[in-house]
């Protein structure tokens, strides 16, 4: 097992968002220190905004969630932030805060890293390429499942390179989390299921991999227990279940920081890169056609889906060209670490071009 790091500080519980001001005040050297907020666009006109401890010098950016973050979109946001800091006479902000789902949390992580490390987002896509700690960052999730709040990566699409890959680094881990389950009350039902299932999928992939280890396994097992309690109950979005899913998401993020994903995520990344389908729904579509790779979990997934009466998009690959199937193959097979984790070093023999195409055709 590699030398592991987790989030240093976290608050958990309803109404803990109210403590953000105190946390910031505790770090402020001067009253005029600016804070950079990246906030999910959903909250533009939401009363939650009124409760944030904004100061006049703070910068607030609403993050568009119609597309998952791209290296280019992150670079342009960083340029805007740097220009604005310079014109206000500041070198760096006091903190970068991400408030939202995985898209917003990942954007804030990337911004924090790029404010202290020169170059472009794509320079850091890979493992342990970020050299300096980023700006002190606070993560406040408003939807549970991806574990982005806990993990050591921020996933970015790089269209030119046909690649979906994060800045995997210790410096990408949040310094402080505020886990306030009140914030997930408004998540639409299908989205709640898709994002929540990301935890389930991270953990089953980790437990079925060859790089599993005792600590990753312990995080995964408890996260899976919580997912089962939530998704096999009558009301997955009850107050108690939203709390449980927030904890599961955090534990799932820790699990994956200590191990690797498996076959679902590479196929899901292929769908996101080629068709633009979002991460969590893509994962569900992939697991839904993976009876062969994960038979027990496939069956449990069907029970959860039926219990919650959630529908999945169907026929998303119908009518694709040969060229598009080739791109799907290439953007799947590129994920060597997780595929090796799941299938061993001969994964390319198992996942032949024809077989991969056949699997995608079922989706």
CA distance to 70, 164, 203, 209, per residue, from 272 (Å): 11, 8, 21, 23
For ligand NAD, the binding residue among 58, 106, 175, 180 (CB under 6 A) is 106
Classify each residue of 157-195 as buried b or exposed e, where b means 16 or more C-beta atoms within 10 Å of its C-beta.
bbeeeebbbbbbbebbbbbbbbbbbbbbeebeebbbbbb
Closer CB to ligand NAD, 155 or 328, in the complex = 155
Instruction: Tell me which stretch binds Zn ion (CB under 5 A): 30-38, 63-71, 198-206, 296-304.
Output: 198-206
**The entry of ligand NAD, Zn ion, none that residue 204 binds, CB within 5 to 8 Å by partner kind:** none
Closer CB to Zn ion, 122 or 198, in the complex = 198
For ligand NAD, the binding residue among 195, 241, 268, 332 (CB under 6 A) is 195
Conformation bin of residue 141: beta by default, left when phi > 0, alpha when psi is -120 to 50: beta
First to last CA, the chain: 35
Residue labelled with tokens 């608050």: 11
In whole angstroms, give the CA distance from residue 210 to residue 129: 25
Report the sign of the C-alpha dihedral through residues 350, 353, 359, 363, in that order: positive
Binding of residue 100 to ligand NAD (CB under 6 A): yes
DSSP class of 29:
S
Q: How far is the CB of 102 from Zn ion (least distance, A)?
A: 8
Q: What mask, x for binding ligand NAD by CB under 6 A, covers residues 35 to 74?
A: -----xxx----------------------x--x------
DSSP assignment string, 325-351: HHHHHHHHHT-HHHHHHHH-TTHHHHS
Tokens for 277? 């389908």
Tokens for 232? 């096999």
Count, residues near ligand NAD per rule CB under 6 A: 32
Closer CB to ligand NAD, 185 or 353, in the complex = 185
Instruction: Tell me which stretch binds ligand NAD (CB under 6 A): 80-88, 143-151, 300-308, 353-361.
Output: 143-151
For ligand NAD, the binding residue among 58, 175, 198, 300 (CB under 6 A) is 198
- 134, 94, 93, 97: which is closest to 117 by C-alpha? 134
Binding of residue 101 to ligand NAD (CB under 6 A): yes
For Zn ion, the binding residue among 149, 198, 205, 297 (CB under 5 A) is 198
Q: Is 178 helix (H, G, I), strand (E, B) or coil?
A: strand
Q: How far is the CB of 196 from Zn ion (least distance, A)?
A: 11
For ligand NAD, the binding residue among 96, 165, 183, 274 (CB under 6 A) is 183
Tokens for 174? 């949040």
Q: How far is the CB of 358 from ligand NAD (least distance, A)?
A: 26
Give yes or no for a contact between 140 and 49, defined as CB atoms under 8 angstroms apart: no
**The entry of Zn ion, ligand NAD, none that residue 155 binds, CB within 5 to 8 Å by partner kind:** ligand NAD
Closer CB to ligand NAD, 194 or 329, in the complex = 194
Interacting residue ranges for ligand NAD, rule: CB under 6 A: 40-42, 65, 68, 100-104, 106, 142-143, 145-148, 151, 153-155, 166, 183-184, 186-187, 191, 195, 198, 278-280
């Amino acid at each position: 097992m590699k030398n592991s790091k987790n989030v240093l500080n976290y608050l958990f519980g309803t109404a803990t968002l109210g403590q953000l001001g105190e946390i910031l005040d505790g770090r402020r050297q001067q009253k005029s220190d600016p804070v950079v907020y990246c906030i999910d666009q959903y909250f533009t006109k939401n009363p939650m905004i009124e409760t944030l401890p904004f100061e006049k010098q703070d910068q607030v950016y609403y993050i568009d969630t119609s597309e998952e973050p791209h290296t280019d979109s992150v670079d342009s946001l960083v340029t805007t932030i740097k220009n604005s800091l310079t014109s206000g006479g500041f070198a760096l902000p006091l903190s970068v805060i991400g408030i939202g789902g995985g898209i917003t949390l990942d954007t804030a992580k990337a911004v924090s890293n790029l404010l202290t490390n020169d170059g472009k987002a794509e320079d850091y896509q890979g493992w342990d390429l970020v050299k300096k700690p980023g700006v002190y960052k606070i993560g406040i999730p408003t939807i549970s499942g991806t574990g982005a709040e806990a993990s050591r990566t921020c996933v970015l699409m790089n269209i030119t390179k046909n690649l979906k890959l994060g800045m995997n680094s210790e410096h990408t881990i949040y310094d402080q989390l505020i886990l306030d389950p009140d914030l997930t009350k408004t998540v639409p039902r299908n989205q709640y299921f898709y994002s929540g299932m990301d935890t389930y999928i991270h953990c089953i992939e980790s437990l079925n991999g060859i790089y599993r280890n005792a600590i990753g396994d312990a995080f995964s097992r408890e996260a899976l227990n919580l997912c089962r309690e939530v998704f096999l109950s009558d009301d997955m979005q009850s107050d108690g279940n939203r709390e449980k899913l927030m904890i599961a998401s955090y534990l799932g993020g820790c699990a994956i920081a200590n191990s690797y994903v498996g076959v679902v995520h590479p196929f899901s990344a292929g769908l996101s890169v080629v068709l633009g389908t979002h991460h969590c729904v893509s994962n569900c579509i992939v697991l839904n056609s993976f009876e062969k790779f994960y038979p027990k979990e496939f069956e449990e997934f069907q029970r959860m889906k039926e219990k919650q009466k959630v529908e999945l998009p169907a026929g998303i690959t119908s009518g694709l060209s040969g060229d598009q199937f080739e791109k799907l193959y290439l953007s799947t097979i590129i994920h060597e670490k997780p595929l090796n984790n799941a299938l061993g070093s001969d994964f390319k023999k198992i996942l032949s071009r024809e077989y991969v195409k056949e699997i995608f055709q079922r989706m």
